[in-house]
Amino acid sequence: MTSRRRAGGARVRPAGVRQRASRVAADHGSPTLDFASGTPYDDYVAAEVLHGLQRTFTDIPEERAFLVTTQIMELYFGLIRSEWWLAQRMLDADEVVEATAVLARSVRYFEGLNAAWGALGWLTPAQFNSFRDALGEASGFQSAMYRHLEFLLGNKSEPLTRPHRRNPAVYQELTRALGRPSLYDSVLAMLARRGFEIPAVRDPAAEYVPSPLVEQAWITIYAERGPGDELWTLAETLTDLSERFSDWRYRHLMAVRRSMGAKPGSGGSSGLSWLERSLRRDVFPELWSARTAM
């Protein structure tokens, strides 16, 4: 096996069962303490780089917790996006069981993502206001990675790509995501291939509009199938995903309400009322409306 070098020059040397057993014998069961260069852990995790990214704008201790929590969320956004891309490729290849497994594990990531809001539950308005002005117009609304998740869920909006026009690489990636089918589009295309009556292909860059035909497809799946069936399991997994995503939105709303009330948002929005409108948009809407019709 050969070593692999990550960006920045750190080298990670693979080790197999024999190498590990040999190391245990040589060290008499104790952890290895001597390395030729930096520790393999730091080479792999880039811990020194990560810890160097907490560059606060003030000396107020509470700002660091706010920044770290936000960075943790960004990492989760990137992880979830990569998983949804993988699930989408599987759905496009009619690998429904495999895609559902990927989506199910992405639901678990929301446990960590949603718990991150709890880490800021102590943040009072006085504490937030003590460093808020130093953040200028920085706002979570401007997160490109979060926007990718919204686009993958079918919540498309060309104007929401515009804050990133001055960053060509990010802007191009977002506009490509805007024009690509969403994860839900891939689900519906798969259902159409399975014989369900699904509306004709729509403009993938347009905001998703619920359809009675899609609602009926989910009603049929629930009525005629059950646990163990791949389409039934996919429907339940998508519902779990929608629920956890709504949980994140709600926790965001409550964190804002708790730390700053109904003040205007830092990024130019109305703040609380903007988040309340976002919360009312259902993800995979027919999976919810079908429950009323069953």
d(CA 276, CA 173): 28
Both tokens of residue 288? 């919810």
- What sign has the CA pseudo-torsion 145, 146, 152, 158? negative
Instruction: Say which residue, 4 or 233, is predicted with more confidence.
Output: 233
With H, G, I as helix, E, B as strand and everything else as coil, classify residue 108.
helix
> What is the arithmetic mean of pLDDT over 285-290?
96
Annotated binding-site members: 132, 252
The number of beta carbons lying within 10 Å of the beta carbon of residue 156 is: 21
Mean model confidence pLDDT for the chain: 87
Counting beta carbons within 10 angstroms of the beta carbon of residue 43, is it exposed (0 to 12), middle (13 to 18) or buried (19 or more)? Answer: buried
Per this entry, what is the length of the chain? Answer: 294
Q: Binding site membership for substrate: which residues?
A: 132
Residue with tokens 């993502």: 113
Tell me which amino acid residue 9 is: G
Domains of the chain: 4-50 (no CATH), 62-293 (1.20.58.480)
Which has more confidence, 135 or 130?
130
Q: Where are the alpha helices (DSSP H) in 153-229?
A: 168-179, 183-193, 212-224
Burial class (CB in 10 A: 0-12, 13-18, 19+), 160: middle
| Predicted TM-score (pTM) above 0.85 | yes
User: Higher confidence at residue 229 or residue 16?
Assistant: 229
The confidence score (pLDDT) of residue 30 equals 75
Tell me: the pLDDT tens digits for 193-242?
Answer: 999 999 987 889 998 899 999 999 999 999 999 899 999 999 999 999 99
Cα-Cα-Cα-Cα dihedral sign, residues 77, 82, 87, 91:
positive
Where is mean pLDDT largest: 139-143, 150-154, 253-257, 280-284? 150-154
C-alpha to C-alpha distance for 224 and 226, rounded to whole angstroms: 7
Calculate Rg over the CA atoms of the chain: 23
Helical residues (DSSP H) of the chain, grouped into ranges: 17-27, 40-45, 47-51, 61-92, 96-118, 125-132, 144-152, 168-179, 183-193, 212-224, 230-260, 272-279, 285-293
Distance, in Å, from the CA atom of 88 to the CA atom of 68, rounded to the nearest integer, reads 30
Least-confidence region, from 1-5, 31-35, 109-113, 130-134: 1-5
Binding residues for heme: 252
Q: How far apart are CA 258 and CA 78, in angstroms?
A: 27
Q: Check if the beta carbon of residue 102 is closer than 8 Å to that of residue 95.
A: no
